[in-house]
Structure 1
Amino acid sequence: MNAGIVGGLGLLAESFGLITGILILYFFQIRNGKNMGILYGATSGLMLAMICFDILPEALDKGRIDLVFCGIIIGTLLGILLDDMVPRLEEKCKTYFSRSIGKTGMILAFGIAIHNLPEGFALGTMGHTSIESISRFTIVLALHSIPEGIALAIPFKKADTPLPILLIMGVFLGGMMGIGATLGYALSSIHENLISTGLGLAAGIILYIVCGELMPESRKIWNGRLTTIATIVGLMAGILLLYN
C-alpha cells in the first residue's frame, strides 16, 4: 500500500457515496425525514463499529496505549476546532451567493469539504494496517457519504442545478478526502510510533463526528425510535462486516 493508492481509495469512497446519494435524490425522491434519519443513524452505527472493533484494536496492538490515548485526545480537540471553524467560515461564504437555495447548497458543500479532510486522514492512517481493514473502512466511508449526497442534492435540485455539475462536485469533494488520506498516510509513515498516534487521532476525529454530529443530526431529522434502532442495526452490520 502506498500514498497514491490510499489517496485514490479516499477519492473513490467519497465520490461513489456522494454520487450515489445525488442520483438517489434525483431519480427516486428519497428525502423525507424518516428515511434520512434512518440513513444517518445506520451510518453512525457502522462507523462506531469500525472505530471500536477495528481501528482502536489495530492501534492498541502496537502496545502503546499512551500514544493511542494521546491521539484520541488530539483528534477530539481537532474535531472541536473544526466544529468552531466551519460555522464562521460558512458565515463568510454567505456573502458570495445571492440566491438563497444556491447559497444553502454551496455552504453545505463547503462544510462537507472541510469534514472530508479529517475523515480522509483517518483512512490514510489505516494504510499501515491490513488490506482487509482499509477495504472495510473504505466501504463504510462510502456508505456514510450516501445520506450526505442526498442532503447536498436537495437545495441544488430546487435551484435547478444541472445534474452533471452536481456529479462533478461529488468528484471534487471526493478529492478533498483523497488529499486527507494522502496526508494521513504520509505523516504516519515518518515513525512507527506515529502509526499508533495517527490511528488514535483518526479514532478521536471520527468519534467526535459520529457522537457530536451524525447521531444528533439523525435525531434532529427524525426524532423517533427508528433512528435509534437504525444505529444499533448499523453497529451490528459493522460487526458482521468485520468478522465475516
Structure 2
Amino acid sequence: MDSLGWFGFSASALGMLIGGAVAWLFCGWHKGTPIIFSLSSGMIFGLAVVEILPESMAAGGWLLTVIGLAAGYGLYHHLESMWHRVVVVTNRKNHDAWIHSGVYLLFSIAIHNFPTGIALGVNARSPLAEQLGLAVIFHNIPEGLAVFTPLLMAGMGMMGVVLGAIAVSIPVGIGALLGSRYGADISWLSAVMTTMAVGIMLTVAAKEMLGTALKETKMIDCLLLSTLGFLSVWCFLIFL
C-alpha cells in the first residue's frame, strides 16, 4: 500500500477511532436499550439521507441507486439467516441485539468505505485532496459513534474499537489505490457499492435498532430520540 493508500486508511481509521472514543465515554450513561438504539438509528438515517445517498445518486443516477438499495436489503436478509443458523453469541437478549447490530453496521461501513477510497484516489492530484482527507476524518466520526455504540454496550473493550476501526478502514486504502489508477472506469461500481451499503445500514437501523426499541418503549419516545439522532448528524455534517 503506497502513500496514498496509507493516507486514506489513516484518515478513515482516525475518524472511526474518534467516534469510538466518544461512544466509549458515554456508553455507561444510558437508561437501557431503547434510548441507545433510537438515537443510533436516527444517526444512521441521517448519515444515509444527508451524505451517502445524495453522493451516490450524483455518481450513478436513480437506477443504480435503486439497484444498490435492493441488493443491500437482500444481502442483509441473507447474512441474517446465516448468522442465526451458525452463531450463538450470548444468552442475554439485549446483548445479542447489540452485537448483531454492530456487526452488520461494521460490514456495511466497510462496503461503503471502498467507494469513499475510490473518490479520494480519483482526486489525489487535485487541490481538493487534503480537504477530502479531512472530510473522511470528520464524516467517519458519526459513523464510528453509530457503529461502536451497540458493540460497546455489549461489552466490547477499546481494543475491539481499535481493531474494528482498522478493519473497516482497509477498504479506504485499497479504494484509494484503485481510484488513482482506474477511477474513471469503476464509477458505476462505486455507486452500486455505496447504495448497497446504505441498504444494509437502513435495514439494520429500522429492524435491528428501531424495531427493538419499539418493543420496549413508547413509539413517541422512539421517534423523538431517533429525530434527535438524525438532527445531530445533520448538524455535524452540514456545519463541519
Global fold match (TM > 0.5): yes
Unaligned runs of 5+ in 1: 95-99, 157-165
RMSD: 3.5
Shift of 1:173: 2.8
Aligned match of 1:52 in 49, 54, 69? 49
Single out whichever of 41-50 and 3-12 deviates more from structure 2: 3-12
Match of residue 170 from structure 1: 161
- Once the two structures are superposed, the pairs formed by residues 140-159 of structure 1 within 5 Å of their partners are 140-153=142-155
How many residue pairs get matched?
220
Match of residue 10 from structure 2: 8
1:195 matched to 2:190? The reply is yes
Q: Which amino acid aligns with 2:224?
A: I
Shift of 1:229: 0.3
Q: Deviations over 1:143-180 (max 9, x none)?
A: 21353244122xx7xxxxxxxxx322332233332345
Match of residue 163 from structure 1: none
Q: Which amino acid aligns with 1:40?
A: F
Provide closer, same or farther for how the CA distance between residues 150 and 4 of structure 1 changes in structure 2, counting only shifts above 3 A.
same
- Give the distance between the partners of 1:121 and 1:5, measured in 2 at CA: 18
The TM-score with structure 2 as length reference comes to 0.72
**SS at structure 1 position matched to 2:154:** helix
Provide closer, same or farther for how the CA distance between residues 224 and 108 of structure 1 changes in structure 2, counting only shifts above 3 A.
closer
Q: Deviations over 1:70-110 (max 9, x none)?
A: 1111111111112212222323x67xxxxx68xx9799658
Say whether the 8 Å CA contact 1:76–1:204 is kept in structure 2.
yes
- Give the distance between the partners of 1:12 and 1:106, measured in 2 at CA: 28
Identity over aligned pairs, percent: 16
Match of residue 137 from structure 1: 139
- Give the distance between the partners of 2:144 and 2:110, measured in 1 at CA: 11
Match of residue 72 from structure 2: 75
Match of residue 31 from structure 2: 32
Match of residue 116 from structure 2: 126
Match of residue 85 from structure 1: 82
Say whether the 8 Å CA contact 1:22–1:149 is kept in structure 2.
no
1:42 matched to 2:20? The reply is no
- Give the distance between the partners of 1:197 and 1:47, measured in 2 at CA: 19
Provide closer, same or farther for how the CA distance between residues 241 and 20 of structure 1 changes in structure 2, counting only shifts above 3 A.
closer
Say whether the 8 Å CA contact 1:118–1:180 is kept in structure 2.
no
Say whether the 8 Å CA contact 1:38–1:230 is kept in structure 2.
yes
Say whether the 8 Å CA contact 2:37–2:210 is kept in structure 1.
yes
**SS at structure 2 position matched to 1:174:** helix
- Give the distance between the partners of 1:206 and 1:111, measured in 2 at CA: 9
- Give the distance between the partners of 2:224 and 2:186, measured in 1 at CA: 41
- Give the distance between the partners of 2:205 and 2:152, measured in 1 at CA: 18
Say whether the 8 Å CA contact 1:44–1:231 is kept in structure 2.
yes
Unaligned runs of 5+ in 2: 121-130
Say whether the 8 Å CA contact 1:37–1:222 is kept in structure 2.
yes
Shift of 1:204: 1.3
